[in-house]
Structure 1
Amino acid sequence: MQIIPHIPVLYREVLEMFCDIDSGIIIDCTMGYGGHSSMILEANPHIKLIAIDQDQTAIDFSTQRLEKFKDRVVIKKGRFSSVIKDILKEHDIKNIRGILADIGVSSLQLDQKDRGFSFSSDNLDMRMDKDALLCAQSVVNEYSLHELERVLLEYGELRNYKKIASFIVQNRPFYSAKELGDALKHLMPTGKKIHPSTLLMQAIRIEVNNELGELESLLDTIEEAKFPNAKIAIISFHSLEDRIVKNRFGKWRDSCICSDEAMRCTCGNNHSYGKILTKKPIIAKDDELRDNPRSRSAKMRVFKMDNNNE
């Protein structure tokens, strides 16, 4: 019997967003432990679900967890930005009714210290796909000073990124997340409720897994395909991801794409892809925050594609 290790974030809100989908296909771009996937399949008994993950450990676990749904679920391995393109070749786009993406590191990866995601990990890996070439140890020990500064500024938004990058270069090599975090503790921001090394590890992890590039690529694919019948729900965990989603949804909503300097509309004013269903991002309720502290950073935004936009 499997031990289910956690409840997925914003699970009630995800189910509510997809509750009116009574047929077709829902794509879970970030399957992980299969929490969202299993709940969606239970709540929507007439839909089929395609689940994607690049982590073989997650696939092995969720294949067993979702086995009871038999022919209603298909699991695919790979980065969701590329796998979703293959799905479009295999299925009628009108049958795809929902797309869910829970962006970022999963609880499965955080809980396994040998994966190098945890602050107390004895190694420095952080690869979501164990077969990927780039790992955190390579970023920390092999990147130039300039490259490290870019990673820490763009992905960690650390004000003293130059000092941190310089310290790393002068004191490397580092071989564990714990060793790196302890060595840099004096340079980390204080006074926040998060672990002092959160932004540092976040920056390295995003670089290793090209997380923002993956998100942008997914949104590009959705924008190109338009998915005339679909709801797009994306859960993010930090401001960089949320900003990307917010800006893209805003672009999809706007009917006029003329520049702000234009005296009058010349674009035809018919470019809207649909409507934003969440004026503000959905966040976890108090009881979920109490039961699952990792949900405190989760924000979900949802967009509904226009049925007539084909």
Structure 2
Amino acid sequence: MANKTKGSSVQETPHIPVLYREVVDAFAPCEKGIIIDCTMGYGGHSSLLLDNKPSLSLIGIDQDPTAIAFSSQRLAPYGARVEIRQGRFSEVAAEAMTEKGDNICGILADIGVSSLQLDQRERGFSYESDTLDMRMNPNAQLSASEVVNEYSQGALETILREYGEVTNARKVAETIVQRRPFASAKELSQAIFHLMPKGKKIHPSTLVMQAIRIEVNDELGELTRLLDAIEASVIKKLRVAIITFHSLEDRIVKNRFNKWSKNCICPDDAMRCTCGNNHSIGKVITKKPLTAQEDELRANSRSRSAKLRIFEIRRD
């Protein structure tokens, strides 16, 4: 896979964006129009796309005011080619697709917590943080503190099992309830550390923190609403590239892309097709998700679990 990106843009960004070569190649067919970067963060993917395609413009979205402030400066040299909007990406992307219509040629979403948020220990995303927050939007009402200290044991167990795939979710939830209140992510991590499976590459508390973060930010709901908005749009030609970091997100994207590619939507037990056999809105570009190449894995540990799936919408 050829790397057509400018090395300077990668270096100027505080963290190299994951799957940067694959993202640029994903939008290679986009020769003109607007790409929506749903999760702008540090602006790494945005700047690479703008460098690689001088004829394209970009709408960058983030709900984090710190990201907005940083990327407003980072992307300022691109002038009128960039428009930055603040808000939840499912809502803002839907508005942009309605406004811009067929001028939108691509949508990129890098799902999950950003390096920017992980780097700020006071945001409470790290298991070593001295706070218990985890809000991607610092002004949102629900924080990790409310989830950990106020949710019932049953609700915590459900979150840990469904969002973190924690195998001993009941025991972990019981321990949290017995030992709360917690004032920091570090304190919570230490309290449950002995219950977590050892010997894996990730920190034993990672899955618990992941589950709480997903609940706080409604991450799976937000991803689903973005896919709903794309499906409901009337844009005729559109490249959709979504990066996920765990199996729950990847499953949602895979299933939706497969749905979009099917002509027949009759029940599996139907004797014959009665739906018209014309429901496909495009094709899956990546039969299997793209993952990081060896040199990226060595340079950026965050890329280890990143998966990129691409779909091409073509409506008649």
Q: Which range, TM-score by smaller chain? A: over 0.9
Q: Which residue of 1 aligns with 2:65?
A: 56
Match for 2:224 among 207, 216, 219?
A: 216
1:240 counterpart letter in structure 2: L
Contact 2:64 2:138 survives alignment (8 Å)? yes
How many residues are aligned here? 306
Tell me how large the CA RMSD over aligned residues is. 1.1
| Mapped partners of 1:253, 1:88: distance in 2 | 21
Distance 1:63 1:32 in 2: 10
Structure 2 residue 154 is the aligned partner of structure 1 residue 146: yes
Confirm or deny that 1:102 pairs with 2:95: no
Aligned to 2:202: 194
Question: Deviation of residue 94 (structure 1)?
Answer: 1.1
- What are the superposed Cα offsets for residues 235-284 of structure 1, whole Å, 9 maximum, x if unpaired? 00000000000000000001000000100111010000110000100000
Residue 136 (structure 1) aligns with: 144
Q: Aligned partners of 2:235, 2:164: CA distance in 1, in Å? A: 33
User: Which residue, out of 5, 13, 21, partners 2:30?
Assistant: 21
- Structure 1 stretches of 4+ with a deviation exceeding 3 A read none
Which of these residues, 43, 68, 75, is aligned with residue 66 of structure 1? 75
Residue 170 (structure 2) aligned to one of 149, 162, 173:
162
Which of 217, 227, 233 aligns to 1:225? It is 233
Give the stretch that moved more between structures: 219-228 or 171-180: 219-228
Q: 1:84 corresponds to which residue?
A: 93
Seen in structure 2, the aligned counterparts of structure 1 residues 237 and 226 have a Cα distance that, compared at 3 Å, is farther
Output the TM-score relative to the length of structure 1.
Answer: 0.97
Superposed displacement of residue 3, structure 1: 6.3
Kindly state the Cα deviation for residue 17 of structure 1 after the two structures are TM-superposed: 1.1
- Structure 1 segment 39-54 matched on structure 2, within 5 A: 39-54=48-63
After superposition, the C-alpha distances for 1:116-138 in whole angstroms (9 at most, x for unaligned) are 00111101100000000000011
Superposition pairs for residues 164-179 of structure 1, below 5 Å? 164-179=172-187
Q: Which letter maps to 1:80?
A: F
Find the aligned partners of 1:215 and 1:206 in 2 and give their Cα distance.
11
SS at match of 2:164: coil
Tell me the residue number matched to 2:130. 122
- Look up the match of 1:291: 299
Under a length normalisation based on structure 2, what TM-score does the superposition of the two structures give? 0.95
Contact persistence 2:147–2:216 (CA under 8 A): yes
Q: Is 1:280 the counterpart of 2:288 in the alignment? A: yes
Letter of the 2:18 counterpart: V
C-alpha distance after superposition, 1:22-65 (max 9, x if no partner): 11110000000000001100101011100000000000000000
